[in-house]
């Protein structure tokens, strides 16, 4: 079976690295590999293994097993992400510029015929999880004053170098995209579809209506690389459409599982330490009821994730999703 190896060289005194630095860097690199593999080839399986270190500077070596062209596409995109200096803004121009550079560099790999779907490439360019994983990796390197540089070397099964890049300590900070630490987020007039999962609907205090377990279907809402609301995410919301509440009260609208509404809503959330907390969705207007046909996909569970990624090992599987 074909494979590729990824060597992460950490230039440190006495060829020894702090365990927290090594663990974060390794975990985030593995997660980036799985994330890009999931976007490009959602129905395939990839395997990542760790190899024993050699003598010299501290080195982590990963062995990635799969079909050769597929591996090269995945690892090359990981490599490109790690070496790309983001503009530190979540703008469409930044995403476009990154995709143009990636496409040009991909086309320059004349020794391999790699074709990437444009839509999937755009998803990878703007994926907030990849930005966050990369930032976490370089933040760990920056916080460890013993690391003077980091080098990534990708080799094929014949031990020939495919890609190689060295990042000096002075560049670590430029690779980190700062995430909001403590701030309030609000976005108004979002219009997408919400589908009912649970039939538990009740009236709260002060006339607010809330439904348990609805699923949001629509574009992801992202703030500075943080995903505030994701497509296919389970949510609860407050119903503020008085006419629709009246229809519920008078039983003109009766809910059953998998009913859906197309609604205009207001989203509020608190962002603390890069995490989304205290999320609130307020439905201001229900546009229609059960006029949308939703094609469902199988939700990933921990069991089938472990079946697809059997060698994730000690790393947290939740970082992949």
| pTM attached to this predicted model | 0.66
Q: Are residues 135 and 220 in the same domain?
A: no
Burial class (CB in 10 A: 0-12, 13-18, 19+), 298: exposed
The number of folded domains in the chain is 2
Residues 169 and 191 in one domain: no
- According to DSSP, the residues that pair with 216 across neighbouring strands are 194, 233
Residues near 317 by Cβ (< 8 Å), separated by ≥ 6?
302, 305, 306, 309
Classify residue 303: in a domain, yes or no.
no
Whether residues 186 and 97 share a domain: the answer is no
Residue 272 backbone dihedrals phi, psi, to 5 degrees = -130, 120
Q: In terms of domains, do 143 and 40 share one?
A: yes
Instruction: Report yes or no on 92 lying in a domain.
Output: yes
296 lies in some domain = no
Q: Which helix (H) or strand (E) is 270 found in, with range?
A: strand 260-272
Walk along the chain (321 residues) and give the pLDDT tens digit of each residue.
578 899 999 999 888 899 999 999 999 999 999 999 888 888 888 889 888 766 556 788 888 887 766 787 888 888 887 777 765 555 556 667 777 877 777 766 655 556 677 888 888 887 878 888 898 999 999 999 999 999 999 888 888 888 888 999 999 998 888 777 788 899 999 988 988 876 555 555 555 555 567 888 888 888 876 789 988 898 888 888 999 988 888 888 887 778 889 999 999 999 887 788 889 899 999 999 988 877 765 544 444 445 544 554 444 444 433
152 lies in a domain? yes
Token pair in block for residue 142:
């920056």
> What is the number of alpha carbons within 13 Å of residue 157 lying toward its C-beta?
10
Q: Is the residue at 316 inside a domain?
A: no
Same domain, 173 and 186: no
Residue with tokens 């503020």: 240
Domain identity same for 174 and 34: yes
Strand partners, 192: 263
Residues 186 and 172 in one domain: no
Q: In which domain, by residue range, is 39 found?
A: 3-178
Structural domain includes residue 314 = no
240 and 203 together in one domain: yes
CATH number at residue 191: 2.40.50
Running DSSP on this structure, what letter comes out for residue 188?
E
Residues paired with 28 in a beta bridge: none
In terms of domains, do 226 and 266 share one? yes
- Single out the residue in 178, 207, 240 at which a domain terminates: 178
| Residues 168 and 196 both lie in one domain | no
* Cα gap 255→257, rounded to integer Å: 7
Closest CA to 29 of 58, 61, 51, 55: 61
174 and 191 assigned to the same domain: no
> What's the rounded Cα separation, in Å, for the pair 100 and 77?
13
Q: Is 320 exposed, middle or buried (0-12, 13-18, 19+ CB in 10 A)?
A: buried
User: Is residue 198 assigned to a domain?
Assistant: yes
């Amino acid at each position: 079976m074909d494979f590729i190896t990824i060597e992460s060289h950490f230039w440190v005194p006495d060829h020894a690295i702090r365990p927290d630095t090594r663990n974060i860097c390794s975990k985030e690199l593995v997660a980036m590999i799985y994330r890009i593999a999931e976007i490009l080839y959602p129905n395939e399986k990839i395997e990542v293994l760790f190899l024993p270190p050699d003598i010299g500077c501290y080195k982590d070596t990963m062995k990635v097993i799969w079909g050769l062209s597929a591996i090269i596409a995945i690892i090359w995109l990981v490599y490109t992400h790690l070496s790309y200096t983001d503009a530190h803004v979540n703008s469409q121009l930044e995403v476009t510029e990154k995709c143009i550079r990636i496409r040009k560099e991909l086309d320059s790999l004349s020794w391999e015929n790699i074709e990437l779907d444009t839509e999937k490439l755009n998803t990878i360019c703007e994926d907030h999880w990849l930005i966050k994983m990369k930032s976490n990796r370089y933040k760990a390197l920056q916080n460890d004053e013993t690391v003077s540089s980091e080098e990534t070397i990708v080799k094929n099964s014949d031990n020939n170098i495919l890609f190689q890049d060295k990042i000096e300590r002075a560049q670590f900070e430029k690779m980190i995209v700062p995430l909001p630490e403590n701030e309030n987020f609000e976005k108004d007039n979002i219009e997408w579809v919400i589908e009912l999962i649970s039939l538990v609907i009740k009236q709260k205090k002060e006339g607010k209506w809330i439904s348990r377990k609805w699923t949001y279907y629509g574009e992801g809402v992202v703030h500075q690389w943080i995903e505030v609301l994701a497509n296919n995410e389970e949510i609860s919301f407050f119903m503020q459409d008085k006419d629709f509440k009246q229809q519920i009260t008078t039983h003109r609208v009766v809910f059953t599982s998998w009913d859906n509404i197309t609604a205009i809503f207001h989203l509020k959330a608190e962002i603390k330490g890069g995490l989304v907390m205290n999320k609130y969705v307020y439905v201001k207007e229900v546009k229609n009821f059960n006029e949308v046909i939703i094609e469902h996909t199988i939700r990933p569970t921990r069991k089938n994730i472990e079946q697809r990624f059997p060698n994730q090992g000690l790393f947290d599987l939740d970082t992949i999703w």
